[in-house]
Chain A
Amino acid sequence: MKQRMSKILAVVLAAVMLLALAACSSGTPAGSGSPDGGPVKNPNLDDGVNRVGICWSSFSAEATQILMANYEAHYKEYGIDEIIMLEAEGNLERQIDEMQDLANQGCDIIICNSVDPDGIAPVVDSIQAQGIPVIAVDRRISTDVYYTLETDNVCCGRDVARTIAQMTMLDEDGNLAADGSVEVLKCVGNMTSSAVRDRFSGLNDELQYWPHLNVVGEPSVESNIEKVYNAVLDGFKTNPNIKAIFVVGDNQVAPVVSALKELGRLVPPDDPNHVIVASVDGISSVVKGIQAGENDIVANQRFDLFCTDALKVIQDYFNGDTSIQGVNNKLPTMIVTRHNVDYLQKNNYLWALPANG
């Protein structure tokens, strides 16, 4: 018995020591950072292949799927040899593991759309210390990264609020709407996301400059479309004169439209009973909804630039140009309404609905 135990323990301890010794000898060489503190390629990982890792919080949104297809279709044009795409399924633990996997697979640079900006920061720091720069796309990361590319969500929230205000400025008789006469329902999304927080910050900021707008409800719907549907039904029970509804993302437009249909309020834009539905993203069904008169306003994000701009930065990095390091590039959105939707589509400004789409 004792003999067997000693044997097993000896084998296990030997394995552990071997692993530890080998790990010690394979550590990142000291001084792997560049003299100016910026990232440089880790010589241990440099196998001559320009490899890029993409670690995205979730592939489920239409916008993400189109974006990933674009990365896949265009990466070679930017001098990238190989691209590895991973999805974290909205799970921070998983995303941390995947970021480490990408680093160990010899990725020279990693694009990250974080599940949680704070939670992902330590692993990003550790990866960047190995000489692998990280680019944050669409969502900020709470540490210094090589480059951040995101929508200017504060501005986007402001633009949507201003458009709602302008659309409702006049009453049915063509006079200026009285103060507090236009009721607005704001469905509050998942506030752990910096993008969502910023959108609401911009929206709330702008709303205060338009006295005719009166926010009558701010139900918390997180990212749950069932909650959105119920929030709209409940909102109309207490405030039947709601004139505009804001949801934080396009995936929440469908339940709003369904609820309006059930309430008998899904009527053409010219009808005085029409309820304005405003959102952010610009997915195809929502843009088509604007064309059909079901919903009214969408702040179209520049998912096309999320692809080409990030790839260009990576191309420059591979060519030794790191002048963009530390920049936070905030892309403006484009407001789409029934008045400009056809024009924007015809001129290919809509990422989800190309001119020939």
Chain B
Amino acid sequence: MGKDTAKLARGPLSLKKELTFQSVMLNYGLYIAMLATFATFAIINDKFLSLNNVVNVFEQAAYYLVCAVGITFVLVSGNNDMSVGSQIAFSSVIATIFLAQGGSIPLSMGMMLVFALVIGLCNGLFVVIIGLPPFIGTIATGYVVRGIAANMTKQETQYGLPAAYTQFAWNKTLGLSNLTWIAIAITLLGLYILHFTSFGRKVFACGGNAKAAEVMGINVKRVKIACYMISALSAAIAAMMLMSRLGAARSGTAETLHTECVAAAVIGGTSLKGGQGSVLGTLLGVFFIAMIRNGLNSQGVNAYWQLVFTGGITLLGAILDSYKSRANAAV
């Protein structure tokens, strides 16, 4: 498989184009927009690029970066996972109830990871084996697990996490919050798996051209299901981080998380059609969205305008992706 699969893998890390204005805009337009936005905010607000603020933004974005890294695998494999927010709600509610009743922390974490594997497997079976469209299959799973969480809690916030658990998010190591370190570790792990292992090359191959990948002997179904399980695992880790940060869990949590993660991935160059994307791009996308929100917050811009702004950037990302796909097809 090696070289042939690598040809199918067309992440930004392997893109080599002629340096025309069009190719620069297609490949780096969003990064240019990102720099322009940062520059504008930095001019308006001298604290925007201060280290305190940047570190703060990393901390805020930590849990959703972890989730976005997982979703990047699913997107690159040519699918989508709409259930990540619901998975976070479900596993955090169950674990909080368990911990509030005196359960052990390692056991609760193990439980969350096992639940995640089961949910990821279900998503994979519905979409890959049964053939449901990813939108329907995963959204249904999301409804089921969030519904269970809502019924268990009667939609009330669950408290009672051990102090050690809640304090973890607020403690710092080497000047960065523990959550930031976890996010960095998961990002590096995701980067390694997606870009430097044979499994990662298979993911790109399956997303780029599933039939060709099959011809090359890749078990496409297995790879795609594995991507759903990776996404679910990262959602479970994000849930642990969120629980620690909030000191609580509720069934209504992370309702818009999927949208934000996909937006971040698209902004970072991941194609919704599969076969293209990178963990570093997702990291940039997450950071970009978080910095925009932070910059707009500093100007007192209300939450609804922030949605408009983020939506606009995501739209720009999707349009560039569409042009890029057409350009690649023409080549």
Chain A residues with a Cβ under 8 A of chain B: 1, 4-5, 8-9, 12, 16, 19-27, 44, 59, 83-89, 92-94, 96-98, 100-102, 104-106, 116, 118-119, 121-122, 125-126, 191-192, 222
Contact = CB atoms under 8 A, between A and B. Distances in A.
A326 to B, nearest CB: 23
B278 to A, nearest CB: 10
Interface string B214-256: 0000000000000000000000000000100111101001100
Given A12-B188, A93-B253, A94-B303, A121 B297 contact: no
A100 B303 contact: no
A192 B294 contact: no
Interface of B: 13, 45, 47, 50-56, 58-60, 155-157, 159, 166-167, 169-170, 172, 174-176, 184, 187-188, 191-192, 195-196, 242, 245-248, 250, 253-254, 280, 293-294, 297-300, 302-303
Nearest to A105: B298
Given A9-B188, A93-B242, A122-B247, A22 B175 contact: yes
A89 B303 contact: yes
B298 A101 contact: yes
Contacts of B188: 9, 12
28 contacts: A12-B188, A19-B176, A20-B175, A22-B51, A22-B175, A23-B51, A23-B175, A26-B51, A26-B55, A26-B175, A83-B300, A84-B298, A84-B299, A85-B300, A86-B300, A93-B245, A97-B60, A104-B47, A104-B53, A105-B47, A105-B53, A105-B298, A116-B248, A119-B157, A122-B167, A122-B245, A122-B247, A192-B156
B191 A100 contact: no
Contact of B50 (A86, A94, A102, A104): A104
A23 B176 contact: yes
Contacts of B47: 104-106
A352 B52 CA distance: 41
B307 to A, nearest CB: 10
Contacts of A23: 51, 55, 172, 174-176
Q: Interface on chain B toward A: helix, strand, loop, or mixed SS? A: helix
Contacts of A121: 247
Contacts of A97: 60, 293, 297
B188 to A, nearest CB: 6
A252 to B, nearest CB: 18
Given A118-B159, A119-B247, A122-B166, A104 B52 contact: yes
A222 B150 CA distance: 14
Contacts of A19: 54-55, 58, 176
Contact of A44 (B52, B159, B293, B299): B52
Given A20-B174, A105-B298, A96 B303 contact: no
A7 B184 CA distance: 17
Given A24-B175, A106-B47, A119-B246, A5 B297 contact: no
A26 B52 CA distance: 7
Contacts of A88: 303
A94 B64 CA distance: 12
Contacts of A5: 192, 195-196
A192 B155 CA distance: 10
Contacts of A101: 56, 294, 297-298
A300 B289 CA distance: 41
Given A12-B191, A84-B298, A106-B47, A1 B196 contact: yes
Contacts of A26: 51-52, 55, 175
Contact of B157 (A25, A100, A125, A192): A192
A252 B307 CA distance: 28
Contacts of A89: 303
Given A84-B300, A126-B170, A93 B175 contact: no
A21 B51 CA distance: 11
- The 10 A-B residue pairs whose C-beta atoms are closest, nearest first, are A23-B175, A24-B175, A20-B174, A101-B297, A97-B60, A84-B300, A104-B53, A105-B298, A23-B55, A5-B196
A125 B167 CA distance: 11
Contacts of A84: 297-300
Nearest to B6: A1
